[in-house]
Amino acid sequence: MADLHELTVVDAARRIRAGETRPSDLLAACLKRIEASEPTVAAWVELDADGARQVAAQRDREAAAGRFLGPLHGIPVAIKDIFDVAGLPTRCGAAAFAHRRPTTDATSVARLRAAGAVILGKVVTTTFAYRDPGPTRNPWNPAHTPGGSSSGSAAAVAARMAPLALGTQTVGSVLRPAAYCGVVGFKPTHGRISTAGVAPLCWSTDHVGIFARQVEDVALTLGLLAGPDRADALSAAVPVDDYVAGLAGAAPPRLAVPRALLARATPEVAGHLDAVAQALAKAGAHVVDVTLPASFDGLHAAGDTLVQAEASAYHREMFARHAADYHPGLRELVETGARVAAVDYVAAQAARRRAREDLGALLTGCDALLYPVAPATAPEGLAWTGDAWYCAPASFAGLPSIALPSGVGAGRLPLAVQLVGGPFAEARLFATAAWCERVIGFRDAPGA
């Protein structure tokens, strides 16, 4: 049992189905790991150990009888604390005025349970998934940020506390912490996964995302979470592919590097991106430089306007009653958003749609864009969660994107690359990412 916490989702699921591992033993290994690592990492806000043990024992009995609820039977999962989990408090990283105890699961949590997952509890989020950081530290170096807003999700997976976690990304809150913590982070096309039961930041750009330690784990999980939901008017009625099926035989991909973007990165990150691109090309990938469409230039400003306006709309009533309890970053966002004119909001939506169409057209000629996740490795200190500039375009355009750990830089902090695919082309993106993952061969872990 000593090494069970090191298992990936797919490997653990295979062992459970083969009768080689009991769900309760896998959970016990994760809980032991949490006991050892949590004092340093501080990823958890509500660890439901007793509830998880009860569910794992039930999964033991089902497995012994040859009954498996689904592909995640017995797999422990950590949930970002803006998702509703029935019976557990939702705190949103905020003061007591925002706390509530839901009686039903968020749609994504319910779908995990239906697939046999064991919900371990809630992990730290920044306040209402914005910039004000929580207490979580980077497992690679606790003096550095794990990123945000899905801080606890990324740190828990990186520290081997859980093999799988859910988070959200509105700007850069899945890919950036995944990159800083050396794990795989993925967000799908906007609307691919229901956000029902998840506290919103900006409806137009909120995405449910997935953290794991390999691409296959993320592909498997998306297949369980994707699909329309009557409880979410923005969820898309687009067919769900078998995302795992195309991974093994993936051909060398066509990758496009928007080289002008590298000027924003540190020499370490820009040089690493070039080295990864060269290694992929040497292995057979077709790597070319591309120029991004003119509409890309206005995408950041348009997205910022949407986040400001929609966050202010959501928080309007709570803020009127509890402004003094709001953290500085969120307070500034709400106040700024209240001044956004309707004509500017409409113009921002139009600019976002135009950029999405133009980027989608560009991506018809390649399998993915390849560029950095963040301009540098995880910043030192816990007062800032890092720069989300490189993550924002895929979020604001609603395109699927994935962060792949790809090396270790100065100070033994992880490096990563980002792949961005076309709208609802997750199957193609996963095949590309899995091929790149095999070539890159990242195997490092915190403390290794």
- pLDDT digits over 310-339, tens only? 999 999 999 999 999 999 999 999 999 999
The count of domains in the chain is 2
Residue 235 in tokens: 């969820």
Residue 65 lies in a domain: yes
How distant is the alpha carbon of residue 403 from its chain centre?
Answer: 9
Torsion of CA 191, 192, 194, 198, to 10 degrees: -70
* Phi, psi of 29, deg, nearest 5: -65, -40
Residues in the chain, pLDDT under 50: none
SS3 content of the chain, % helix, strand, coil (to 5): 45, 15, 40
Choose the catalytic residue: 24, 37, 149, 401.
149
Per-residue model confidence (pLDDT) at position 296: 98
Report angle CA 240, 242, 247 to the nearest 5 degrees: 135
Per-residue model confidence (pLDDT) at position 448: 63
DSSP letter at 296?
Answer: G
Closest CA to 146 of 172, 118, 119, 108: 172
**What is the distance between the alpha carbons of residues 398 and 187, in angstroms, rounded to a whole number?**
9
**What is the distance between the alpha carbons of residues 362 and 133, in angstroms, rounded to a whole number?**
36
Cis-peptide into 149, omega within 30 deg: yes
| Range(s) of the domain holding residue 111 | 4-245
Residues 300, 237, single domain; the answer is no
211, 230, 245 - which closes a domain = 245
Residue 343 lies in a domain: yes
Residues 150, 224, single domain; the answer is yes
Residues 90, 198, single domain; the answer is yes
Torsion of CA 198, 202, 205, 208, to 10 degrees: -10
Residues 88, 197, single domain; the answer is yes
332, 353, 374 - which closes a domain = 353
Query: CB 255: neighbour CB atoms within 10 A?
Result: 25
Residue in this structure with the two tokens 């592919």, named with its chain if needed: 241
Residue 397 lies in a domain: no
Residue 290 lies in a domain: no
Residues 49, 147, single domain; the answer is yes
pTM (whole model) above 0.85: yes
Residue 373 lies in a domain: no
* Phi, psi of 296, deg, nearest 5: -60, -35
Closest CA to 155 of 163, 166, 145, 146: 146
Residues 230, 327, single domain; the answer is no
Residues 98, 35, single domain; the answer is yes
Residues 8, 144, single domain; the answer is yes
Residues 54, 128, single domain; the answer is yes
**What is the distance between the alpha carbons of residues 230 and 63, in angstroms, rounded to a whole number?**
32
Residue 338 lies in a domain: yes
Choose the catalytic residue: 37, 80, 122, 151.
80
Q: Is 150 a catalytic residue?
A: no
Residues 241, 347, single domain; the answer is no
Q: Is 187 a catalytic residue?
A: no
271 forms beta bridges with none
Closest CA to 27 of 55, 46, 8: 55
Per-residue model confidence (pLDDT) at position 2: 54
Measured N-to-C along each axis, helices 342-363 and 299-322 cross at an angle, to the nearest 10 degrees, of 140
Residue 392 lies in a domain: no
101 forms beta bridges with none
Q: Which amino acid, one-letter code, is at 7?
A: L
CATH of the domain at 133: 3.90.1300.10
Residues 323, 229, single domain; the answer is no
The dihedral region occupied by 335, where left means phi > 0, alpha psi between -120 and 50, and beta the remainder, is alpha
Choose the catalytic residue: 24, 153, 173, 235.
173
331, 353, 375 - which closes a domain = 353
Residue 399 in tokens: 């395109």
399, 299 in Cβ contact below 8 A? no
- 339 Cβ contact partners less than 8 Å away, ≥ 6 residues apart: none
Residues 17, 134, single domain; the answer is yes
Q: Is 173 a catalytic residue?
A: yes
DSSP letter at 222?
Answer: H
Residue 447 lies in a domain: no
Radius of gyration of the chain (CA): 20
**What is the distance between the alpha carbons of residues 220 and 218, in angstroms, rounded to a whole number?**
5
